């Protein structure tokens, strides 16, 4: 092969290699947005943990601290995926999280509401991946779909317990639930 032809071949070959795995703009933007949402979730739960600590409920604080750690692993999982797809992570500003809450039940309900919002975002991301015919991203997002189902169910369980306690001797039930939640430990499932 003459040098010129070889050079041309080499150039187009490496360019194709470089672009080959890259995410399409719409998918990339949505994934970067999701990293931000997971980081926001982390800080929201850390703030809830702080509120519980302040109220003298270390078990509930532990529950939220574990959630905080989990959300960080979610953000990092997407971070690694974007890098693997030869694309650029762009971190965005994280909105101010609430720092005051009305009651234990309200914190749990707000956390469920937030998880439902995140589920909506993941569903939307899946739609984008399908529209863009990005099968790898679609497959990657399946883990998040399952995770959201688990997370919503787990918060709902605590809300149910709190509502049950409310009808009975409140202080004692809350104390017992707090002791139960103290046992939760963080395990990286990503």
Chain residues that interact with Fe ion, rule: CB under 5 A: 38, 71, 74, 151
Q: What is the number of the residue whose Cβ is closest to Fe ion?
A: 74
Q: Of 134 and 151, which has the nearer Cβ to Fe ion?
A: 151
In the complex, the smallest distance separating the C-beta of residue 166 from Fe ion, rounded to whole angstroms, is 25
Give the integer Cα–Cα distance in Å for 111 and 116: 9
Closer of 45 and 165 to Fe ion (Cβ): 45
Q: Least CB distance from residue 172 to Fe ion, whole Å? A: 30
Give the shortest CB-36-to-Fe ion separation in angstroms: 12
Structural contact between residues 28 and 9, judged by C-beta atoms closer than 8 angstroms: no
* Class of residue 118 by CB neighbours under 10 A (exposed 0-12, middle 13-18, buried 19+): buried
Helix axes 104-131, 58-84, angle to 10 degrees: 10
- Nearer Cβ to Fe ion (35/129): 35
């Amino acid at each position: 092969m003459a040098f010129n032809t070889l050079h041309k071949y080499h150039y187009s070959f490496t360019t194709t290699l470089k672009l080959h795995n890259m995410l399409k703009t719409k998918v990339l933007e949505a994934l970067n947005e999701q990293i931000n949402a997971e980081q926001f979730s982390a800080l929201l739960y850390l703030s809830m943990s702080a509120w519980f600590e302040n109220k003298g409920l270390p078990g509930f604080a532990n529950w939220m601290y574990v959630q905080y750690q989990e959300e960080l692993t979610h953000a990092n999982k997407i971070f690694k995926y974007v890098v693997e797809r030869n694309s650029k992570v762009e971190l965005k500003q994280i909105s101010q999280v609430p720092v005051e809450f009305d009651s234990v039940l309200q914190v749990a309900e707000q956390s469920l509401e937030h998880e439902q919002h995140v589920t909506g975002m993941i569903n939307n991301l899946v739609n984008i991946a399908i529209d863009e015919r990005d099968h790898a991203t679609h497959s990657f997002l399946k883990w998040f779909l399952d995770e959201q189902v688990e997370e919503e169910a787990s918060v709902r369980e605590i809300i149910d317990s709190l509502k049950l306690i409310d009808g009975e001797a409140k202080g004692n039930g809350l104390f017992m639930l707090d002791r139960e939640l103290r046992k939760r430990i963080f395990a990286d499932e990503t």
